[in-house]
Structure 1
Amino acid sequence: GGEGVRVLVVDDHEANLMLMKRILQKRKHHLEFARDGAEALEVASRELFDCILMDCNMPVMDGWEATEQIRKEGGLNALTPIVAVTANAMAGDREICISKGMSDYMTKPVNKSNLYDMVDRWKTRKHPADAQREGMDVSGAASPHTPFAAKSASSQADSDK
């Protein structure tokens, strides 16, 4: 399982890109690479991914700004899980990443099991593109809490009877 996931890896350090490439290729994932946030935006605008691994501190455009842009533009990857990959494991960093629209957070140096776990955890999220391919209504895809809210409201109504 877990093969053939489309992953965009964004990092300005060649060594980090090579390390993640080596690890993820063992799983037969389809990989694309970008070396800064601007390049990431460009790649993300034309290709759909199951997961984006985004370094935070990069020249030209950092990972936080790139994430905000990807989310705001409402393009192919507006709802794609974006995982922050950062060397700064400071208190509050996770909250900053989440507030910028990132889905999750992992620290460098990355290791194999962390990377596999992170990709496995996020690749299973229902992506709007899959829903579109299956002809489902994706108008509510942006709000993951809707089904739960609807369910709890209806079960409360039942218990009032």
Structure 2
Amino acid sequence: TFFLRLPFRRAVGRDAVPTVVAGDIMVGRKALVVDDHEFNRQIMTDLLGRMGATATSAADIESARDAFLKNTPDVVFVDFELAGQVGADLAKWIRTEAPTGRDVPIVATTAFEVDEVRRQCEEAGMDGFLAKPVTHVKIAEIMSRIEAIRAGDAPPTPWTATEDHSMASSIDLLAGGDPEKRAKLLRSPWKVLLEETAQALRHARRGNLTVCGSHAHRAVSAAVTLDLRPIATLARDLNLAANAGDPEKTLALARKLQEAVRSAHDQDTG
């Protein structure tokens, strides 16, 4: 009898082999994530990686086209409201011009689901719709439904993921039980929300409504990620007022938004 002792270290970080989550619906797939919000791209690509997929990302339609042609993804997740662009335009290009684009599942993501957004997505040839915050559970559900519909095993409606899962579950998953990593993940959307809110108010005061609306749009996404729905709604109202060219309403909403964000941040940080 003999014993052999081999030294080893526990795999951490990039060396670790993560457990695949939310079933095997995404295992082995190539995914393209298109979102103008850096944190959203990071979270979605990390989640898809944990689900067994290989994900690339793009911040706008032009770079998304390049990524599509280079990587030939098996599925595309595209934010409906990109900065100065509409995700439906990318879907139309994929369906009509991109090689192999006719059969690729395309899923829209957005902070607010409204009938007009859904109509534009359907007309552009998209397959599904995910309300932010996007989680691994929602991704698995919508992909399973798309496959069932295409196989003729399910009716084509409802068109969205029905389960309402908090972003907290996905943050906890990515943090892996590490409180410091979890706090670090949440600092990014808070930083974005505070900065975008301040910029929105600054430009509202100067009468730069178009720029104010762009900052409000990014504030919506950050607020949804933090599960701050009332603040997300307020930022959305600000975006609409700015885009409508109403300076008085825009300024009033920008002030109200900053007060709400500061109050929520003070409560969160204790």
**TM-score of the two chains, using structure 2 as the length reference:** 0.43
Task: Indicate the residue corresponding to 2:74 in structure 1.
Answer: 50
- Mapping of 1:1-161 within 5 angstroms? 1-2=24-25, 3-59=27-83, 61-122=85-146
Shift of residue 60, structure 1, vs aligned partner: 5.6
CA RMSD, 1 decimal? 2.4
CA distance in 1, matches of 2:102, 2:71: 12
Runs of at least 5 residues in structure 1 that lack an aligned partner in the other structure: 127-143, 146-161
Q: How many residues align?
A: 128
Gap change, CA 1:100 and 1:57, over 3 Å in 2 = same
CA distance in 1, matches of 2:98, 2:49: 29
Shift of residue 71, structure 1, vs aligned partner: 1.2
Q: Which has the higher strand share?
A: 1
For residues 74-118 of structure 1, the C-alpha deviation after alignment (integer angstroms, 9 at most, x for no partner) is 413232111001112113422221111111111111122102222
Shift of residue 123, structure 1, vs aligned partner: 6.1
**TM-score of the two chains, using structure 1 as the length reference:** 0.69
| Cα pair 1:6 1:31 within 8 Å, conserved | yes
Answer 1 or 2: higher relative contact order, Cα 8 Å, separation at least 6. 1
